[in-house]
Structure 1
């Protein structure tokens, strides 16, 4: 156990399904003795889900309230649904208090609107380029970010930590000192207590073996408070965020966990029900955390190359308007100098 990071399992099961999972005393013993935590998805604030969290409280298993919207509202929080996000937290707070539940933190899942994710998959790179080009026209950004910051202050006032689940691209926005990616994808950079970068290696591209090889973790890990790895999906998965992602093999999952532990002492793993279904929990307890794998060079170079290209694009957009403004002044100065020279020439000629 020496040197092992804290692992927090994402769990999408709710109600009777979650109660059924926790009915296994061996699972509860495993979670308790290993100091594992669970981020329980709160789609529906049911009495059965409250009963399941009460069981986790009795066994002193840390619980994060992973707030999610209904499928019709798009699951995750973003610029377009911040009023629903605020209402979701307040409903969850009342529900938590009415059932006397102990919650370690509130988890805010910040991802692009589900409908736009589906559209981008269908249209491809051209749609992404269009979004980046039109990012400055996103008028929702300022009001939404202000509302989310107020929400975080409210959560802190209620005595909870805030964990945010972010795409790694948020780091590129900071590096370029822009909000281009946030505006393009309708996401928002927030001041959380723990920011979890979702560095899933699962990718539906056969040429890469459906696996990025840990390249995202290796490249973005140094900027992360915590890292999300996966994808180990159970048969009862409901979220469209992962249902199209190929499952990782055990070797790939072990590699990602060991690599993430090199950068952070907190790892989120998707998902508990998937690991139980595939019998992976005993293997988790036997991981050698002193090993630091090295991702494949080609995949690391690919991700680094894409990051470099993205940085160039964002810097060009950031400085395009100032450059155009200064170029206008330079042209005006050149015309002014040429005009003065022409006047001098005309005066000399007239003499």
Structure 2
């Protein structure tokens, strides 16, 4: 089978990004692995542009992973589509200013980062729950956001770029249930792109992370593996130990067994832990055990999809309840008639 197609996420502020690529070793490793870099566009600075210029000259493909300022939600969601569209316009101006070359555009679909942080603060829980309920009941918002994001994707295509999206795995259950419950609750958007990357970061789901990865991998165009370290700081919400080399190796082998490309989060984590240099001699074809709880995860997913299907169609609950009440009434009438 050999090495699959590899992509690395990189999500660093400009000064740390410049330091990471200070010298040729990281670029050489990426080139030797024939890997793509998904570079988080945290800012539109000259320093970030210079790193992209170096990668362009070295022949390393770079995906522009678009992000917003944190006050606008950071990741793209159902409520900040106007800011997302505006970001792409300013990104293009920056790109043209420095004549930067991109292999594609990445759209990261996740809940508002400020909502996630609010959930970790007691005084903000009730307002966030109220906001979530309002979002859940507003189907029109999802439809409006979907149209806006598809218009943005059409614009990106017209500019000559393919688009990949980064999604949390529960979007698959929403899709299978023909529902928008998860999307409305979390502010996610189901969009049509060339490649969908499911963020199957086993470090967040220990001890069953490998089983979750194995279960969702067939649904992914590319498998998100991680986290090896790095990323945004959400104290109390995203505060887990990075993957060890043993865990990382296991996840990579599981991806190979599924025959899928791999998106690794993150490049900086791999460099810090010494993983990047090890990948040049990694034994991709070595066997690994299929996670033991895969069937349990699959059963749980089926249950979630069934629940989402029902929540999307509350009339089913009312109809079922009415039927039960009606049958109970008929049964009681029958018993009364027998008694008389």
Shift of 1:150: 0.3
Match of 2:312 in 1: 318
**Which protein has the larger Cα radius of gyration, Structure 1 or Structure 2?**
1
The SS at the match of 1:262 is helix
> Per-residue CA shift, 1:61-84, capped at 9, x if unaligned?
010001111122221000111111
Match of 1:91 in 2: 90
Counterpart Cα distance in 2 of 1:134 and 1:321 = 20
Structure 2: give runs of 5+ residues left out of the alignment.
330-340
Check the 8 A contact 1:15/1:52 in 2, yes or no: no
Cα 1:305–1:46 shift into 2, 3 Å:
same
Equivalences for 1:272-351 in 2 at 5 Å?
Answer: 272-298=267-293, 300-322=294-316, 324=318
The SS at the match of 2:262 is strand
Shift of 1:180: 1.3
Counterpart Cα distance in 1 of 2:298 and 2:66 = 32
Q: Tell me how large the CA RMSD over aligned residues is.
A: 3.0
Match of 2:63 in 1: 64
Check the 8 A contact 1:9/1:271 in 2, yes or no: yes
Shift of 1:140: 1.4
Match of 1:340 in 2: none
The SS at the match of 1:297 is coil
Shift of 1:320: 3.0
> Per-residue CA shift, 1:107-157, capped at 9, x if unaligned?
100001123334556789xx99x9589734344111111100000000000
Match of 2:249 in 1: 254
Cα 1:131–1:309 shift into 2, 3 Å:
farther
Counterpart Cα distance in 2 of 1:228 and 1:264 = 13
Match of 2:208 in 1: 212
Match of 2:116 in 1: 117
Match of 2:219 in 1: 223
Match of 1:20 in 2: 19
The SS at the match of 1:65 is strand
Match of 2:229 among 228, 233, 254: 233
Cα 1:64–1:156 shift into 2, 3 Å:
same
State TM-score, norm by structure 2.
0.85
Match of 1:141 in 2: 142
Shift of 1:270: 0.9
Shift of 1:30: 1.4
Structure 1: give runs of 5+ residues left out of the alignment.
205-209, 336-351
> Per-residue CA shift, 1:169-194, capped at 9, x if unaligned?
11111111111111111101000111
Number of equivalenced pairs: 323
